[in-house]
Amino acid sequence: MSSSTREQCDVAIIGGGPSGLAAATELKRLGVDSVVVLERECEAGGIPRHCGHSPFGLREFRRILSGPSYAGKLSTAAKSQGVDVRLNTTVVSIGESGQLELSTVDGLNYINARKVILSTGIRETTRAARLVSGQRPMGVMTTGALQSLVYLEHKKPFKNPVIIGSELVSFSALLSCRHSGIRPIAIIEQNPRITAHLGLKLLARLLGVPIYCRSRLQEIMGRRTVSGVKIETASGKTNVLECDGVVFTGKFIAESSLMRKSHLQFDQATGNPVVDQFGRCSDADYFATGNMTHPVETAGFCWSHGIETAQQVYAALAGKLDKFNRRSVIYPNNSLIKYAVPQVLAIADNGHIQVENRSDSQSIQIRVNKPVKGRLSLKSGLETLAEKSINVLPERRVELELRTLSDKRLPETLYLDIEEAD
């Protein structure tokens, strides 16, 4: 099909989770004519569709909802604003000038969009990517897979699994287990303390599930089905725990497969798309939003982020978001930093950063790899442009506000550093 006969739209949004739906709804509200959400599942709503538990929706609907009813509400809101939500539609490749290749039940299709928003979310790091020893028995999965089995199909893949990891999502896995009569036998955490809020230890205790910190999964035992796991304890001893399943939780990474084979720049190490402070990708017709830009956030955060991104896209459509020829690249200069977003700052010809009128919400978001206490700073050579003292755990948001940079001339390279306090 030649591109002239292809279907055209103003904005195509890839992924109909909270961030994509929020962006679509906002764009329609602002008066954009044709807004299309392309969603590969048979229903929109993203991850919350199969998070049968609460809390969702406080920010958006000022009510506590379960995942599925939250997903339903977001999707209804989008449709009633006139968003064209296309289900069972997988975007298989993205190209320059907003050309998208789709697979639907009818085979290949194409659409051309003036602007594209990537909101494809995240997934958890699998057993394979963690390089875990053992054979390949059934009953080894991620929380995502467990939840879709439990909540969408009402099935349970095991009875007494171990849960690997102690992020927020690990406790979500715990709740999903309880929902379906699965009794996890332990939560295994490598670090000295759980990654999620300490309060959640109480939840585990209430449910009678012990948490083993400073413990490392050594091997999955069993050939056809899981028969146990070997755990290395703090003292270097190996314990065998009998169980019939293993749930790998968290260690989220961006669902960036589309990007990895496209013309867009992305961060090799994290898989996150390279964006500027407006959420724009290296091709200015593309924007990214939601969890994929900063794994992992709550649904409410992603929803707000979707709305902000929609406003930038709206400005871009109206020609109000300047194309900047100059950029400052932010390099994390310390292995404590897991990632920093945005990775580049678009700067005006006079060397000053352009910030929006809603500048108070704009910041550089940083995640750390291990608990850190110290000073975070943004530097250009020897000069410190911004700094702040931090005391954070992994998977917690750290923000460095951009507003403080507005009176500075920015060079092409900036470095982020952390000086640990002793």
Residues contacting residue 48 through CB under 8 Å, at least 6 positions apart: 17, 18, 56, 67, 68, 70, 71, 299
Residue 323 has which token pair? 């194309």
Contact 72, 46 (CB under 8 A): no
Q: Which two tokens stand for residue 420?
A: 């640990």
Question: Binder to ligand FAD among 9, 32, 40, 337 (CB under 6 A)?
Answer: 40
Among 19, 25, 75, 148, binds other proteins (CB under 8 A): 148
The rounded distance, in Å, linking the Cα atoms of 277 and 340 is 11
Which of 30, 58, 152, 203 is in the footprint of other proteins by CB under 8 A? Answer: 152
Give the interface size with other proteins as a residue count (CB under 8 A).
57
Among 1, 2, 131, 382, interactor with other proteins by CB under 8 A: 131
Do residues 312 and 320 make contact, with C-beta atoms less than 8 angstroms apart? no
How far is residue 306's CA from residue 291's CA, in Å, rounded to a whole number?
Answer: 10
What is the spatial distance between Cα 374 and Cα 173, in angstroms, rounded to a whole number? 33
- How many residues comprise the chain? 422
Q: Which two tokens stand for residue 329?
A: 């690249």
Q: How far is the CB of 243 from ligand FAD (least distance, A)?
A: 20
- The span from the CA of 290 to the CA of 303, in Å, is 7
Instruction: Assess contact for 372 and 336: CB atoms under 8 A.
Output: yes
Evaluate whether 350 touches 366 at the Cβ level (below 8 Å): no
Nearer to ligand FAD, 249 or 377 (CB): 249
Residue 236 near other proteins by CB under 8 A: no
CA gap 266, 286 in Å, rounded: 12
Question: Would you count residue 167 as binding ligand FAD (CB under 6 A)?
Answer: no
Interface with other proteins in residues 266-325 (CB under 8 A):
268-269, 271
Question: Per rule CB under 6 A, is residue 222 in the interface with ligand FAD?
Answer: no
With CB under 5 to 8 Å by kind, the binding choice for 302 among other proteins, ligand FAD, none is ligand FAD
55 binds ligand FAD (CB under 6 A): yes
Cβ pair 89, 38 in contact under 8 A? yes
Single out the residue of 243, 110, 111 nearest to residue 184, CA to CA: 243
Phi and psi at residue 223, in whole multiples of 5°? -110, -55
Residue 7 DSSP code = E
The answer to the question of residue 127 lying near other proteins (CB under 8 A) is yes
d(CA 81, CA 92): 27
At residue 184, what is the residue type? Answer: P
Q: Is 14 in the site for ligand FAD (CB under 6 A)?
A: yes
Count residues binding ligand FAD (CB under 6 A): 37
Cβ neighbours of 414 (radius 10 Å): 22
Is the bond preceding 55 in cis, omega lying within 30 degrees of 0? yes
CA-CA distance, 277 to 347, in Å (whole number)? 10
Listed ranges 44-52, 150-158, 194-202, 406-414: which one lies at the site for ligand FAD (CB under 6 A): 44-52
Residue 284 binds which of ligand FAD, other proteins, none (CB < 5-8 A, kind-dependent): none
CB-wise, 104 or 380, nearer to ligand FAD? 104
Could you say whether residue 147 binds ligand FAD (CB under 6 A)? yes
Among residues 11, 36, 169, 226, the one that binds ligand FAD under rule CB under 6 A: 169
Give me the least distance between CB of 362 and other proteins, in Å please.
28
Binding mask 84-123 for ligand FAD (x = CB under 6 A): ------xx---------------------------xxxx-
Cα 413 to Cα 197: distance, rounded to the nearest angstrom? 35
Binding partner of residue 373 among ligand FAD, other proteins, none, CB cut-off 5 to 8 Å per kind: none
Among 45, 46, 144, 342, binds other proteins (CB under 8 A): 144
CB closer to other proteins, 261 vs 388: 261
Q: Token digits for 3?
A: 């591109």
290 counts as binding ligand FAD under rule CB under 6 A: yes
- Say which entry of other proteins, ligand FAD, none residue 358 contacts (CB below 5 to 8 A, set by partner kind): none
Q: What residues make contact with ligand FAD under the rule CB under 6 A?
A: 14-20, 38-41, 46-48, 51, 55-56, 90-91, 119-122, 143-144, 147, 169, 172, 255, 258, 290-291, 297-300, 302
Residues in contact with other proteins by the rule CB under 8 A: 40, 42, 50, 88, 90, 92, 103-108, 123-124, 126-129, 131-136, 138, 141-142, 144-145, 148-150, 152-160, 180-181, 183, 218-219, 223-225, 253, 255, 257, 260-261, 268-269, 271
